A and B are shown apart, each in its own frame.
Chain A
Amino acid sequence: MALLRRAYGAGPGHLAATLAGLLIAAYGIARIGQHGSWPRVAVYFVLAILAHDLFLLPLYTLLYAATWRVGRIGADRSRRVPVLRHLVVPTVISAVLFIAWFPLILRLPRFSGTLTADVSVYLSRWLIITAALFLASGALYAIRALRARGLPAQEAPPADGLAPGPPA
């Protein structure tokens, strides 16, 4: 047992779980290999990871920077309701819908000639949904801002816990 730990770097449970999992995965990989398309599938696997690291990571960082600024604005007691947050939330939801359905929204070339379904409707639908999201968020902001105005500054509730404390 000690020998295993020294040579492998973990206990037998770790080895068993990893090997069992990799064995199942190896079956899938072997079968893809027999289908002849494995180089392309492998490229897609790597691209999937790279796309995440090189595209989404910078996006998250920007988003984080944006919410950080919201936090700073929230610290200013004169603005108890964070306006930026009411912009960030509908923007993110709209962006997620776009990322999932962009081939439809942008009418990208389709496996067609066989399909009658019309895809011209999706761009306008997505735009209308986006507008509705911003409208709802704006209405919510207006209600919260009106409510916050009625309260004296000291008793103002931490608007959704937005006033940041001192750096941890």
Chain B
Amino acid sequence: MSALDRPRRQLRRLLAEGPGGPFDRARWTSPLRGPWMASFLSIGLAVLFGLDLLTGYLSYVAYQPGLPGNALTGGGLDRHLFGWTWPTGPAWLYGVTQGVHILAGTVAIPILAAKLWTVMPKFYKWPPAKSASQALERLSLGLLVGSSIFLVITGLIDISYWYAGLGFSFVAAHFYAAWVFLGALVAHVGLKLGVMRQAFRTRGVLAPLREDLRATAAEPFDAETSAPVAPAAPTVTRRGMLGMVGGASLALGAFLFGESFLGGLRGTALLAPRGQDVGSGPNAFQVNKTAAGVGIKPSETDASWRLELQGDPHKVTLSRADLLAMEQHTHELPINCVEGWSTLQTWTGVRLRDLAARAGVASPGNVRVQSLQGGGQFSHATLSGHQAGDDRALLALKVNGADLSADHGFPARVIVPNAPGVHNTKWVASMRFGV
């Protein structure tokens, strides 16, 4: 008898029977797990994550990565898919798409958790894959779970400004993780649509919600689904579990959605990252970056400040007094932040196309706006000719009748209808037309 016999026997048994614990399907006893629960939760996730994919795509377009210096991610296929011109109206459009993006992603958290709870027995499969098809399916499933949790967590970290330890560029990582998610989702839907159809055909879409505890029974065991081998007695109805999940989603949404609105509704955004009280006064609204924070010195923005307009071939230099002497226009326009909050203010200043004319450019074309900010991704932005030519696109000098405060971009800032918030460059130093 060889000394290796025993370990060999044990290994053979391990391979045949599995390591036990969570790999033993008999240990997963909840009668609520099964294809109906998984399918029902999937409908909610499909709607919410579908909205996130759509609004995420629109947000990428809104940054107009095809214009020089605007792209926050690399090249590749992206610009061909995202190259079309972002409109300047309606002015609140980007506020709506980003409000939906953040809201849908946040309220999806409890549903995602419930879905993972439902299908969890299937993650512990022994052997992990019996064929090439199962191996590929598990790979796509791993990408789906990993990317969905990754997207939710990085999104929350970003809007909470908690950048400690992220260690990579949020925009690129969140954007390309969405590609991974989209791909894994295509595979998942392709493979599981039949299971969903079958589950709804056998049990009805809503019928299980009407069962009381006595009628709550497990779905028949099938190794391919998450239904239990040996179900325990139910302690809660399917309606009860989904009520709990929906209640948690509602609570997340209820204390967040108000940050996209103005007036009284905003007061409900108790747990929104930008739901603080901003005080009162003409300059009392949200600030993302303060003048001091980005290193703007008071000596740069005093009476010696000059705006440089680069036309072709003209170069014009204007003081703030020169700008105030030009024709002033007043428009009520929102700042719509990528983080999902919006604020509507009344801006007064000079039209961008009047500035282009001053620099000798008849039709503004693309405009590169440069801030006094030393560096950073958003110390500059390129606006399209469509944006710069809009009647309401201003180089604002005043807000709500008062001079801009230092933190809101004094001496002058850009405000363009429906542009992502960060493209409304503050502390403008120069503008180059026709880039």
List chain A positions with a Cβ less than 8 A from chain B: 7-10, 13-32, 34-35, 37, 40-41, 44-46, 48-49, 51-53, 56-57, 60, 64, 67-68, 70-71, 89, 92-93, 96-97, 99-101, 103-104, 108-119, 121-122, 125-126, 129, 133, 158, 160-168
Contact = CB atoms under 8 A, between A and B. Distances in A.
Contact of A9 (B116, B133, B153): B133
A125 B275 CA distance: 11
B139 A162 contact: no
Contact of A57 (B120, B140, B190, B244): B120
Interface string B243-270: 0100110011001000000000000001
A114 B213 contact: no
B132 interface: yes
Contacts of A92: 244, 248
Contacts of A114: 288-290, 293-294
The 7 closest A-B pairs by CB, nearest first: A9-B131, A21-B187, A17-B190, A28-B179, A25-B183, A24-B183, A161-B213
A133 to B, nearest CB: 8
A8 B131 contact: yes
B74 interface: yes
B156 A100 contact: yes
27 contacts: A17-B186, A19-B136, A21-B184, A22-B183, A28-B183, A30-B76, A31-B76, A35-B74, A37-B169, A41-B150, A45-B150, A49-B145, A49-B146, A93-B247, A96-B251, A99-B109, A100-B109, A103-B157, A104-B273, A109-B164, A113-B293, A115-B290, A121-B276, A129-B251, A163-B213, A168-B217, A168-B232
B213 A158 contact: yes
A35 B176 contact: yes
Contacts of B191: 14, 17-18
A138 B68 CA distance: 59
A161 B216 contact: yes
B73 A17 contact: no
Nearest to A4: B133
Q: Is the interface of A mostly helix, strand, loop or mixed?
A: helix
Contacts of A158: 212-214
A41 B169 CA distance: 10
Nearest to B163: A111
Nearest to A113: B293
A165 B186 contact: no
B419 interface: no
Contacts of A68: 232, 235
B15 interface: no
Interface in B1-31: 22, 30-31
B212 to A, nearest CB: 4
B162 A108 contact: yes
Contacts of B149: 48-49, 51-52
B296 to A, nearest CB: 11
Contacts of A7: 132
Contact of A10 (B131, B167, B232): B131
Given A21-B187, A111-B161, A161-B213, 12 more contacts: A14-B137, A18-B137, A27-B179, A37-B169, A41-B150, A64-B30, A100-B252, A104-B162, A109-B162, A110-B160, A110-B161, A164-B234
Nearest to B30: A64
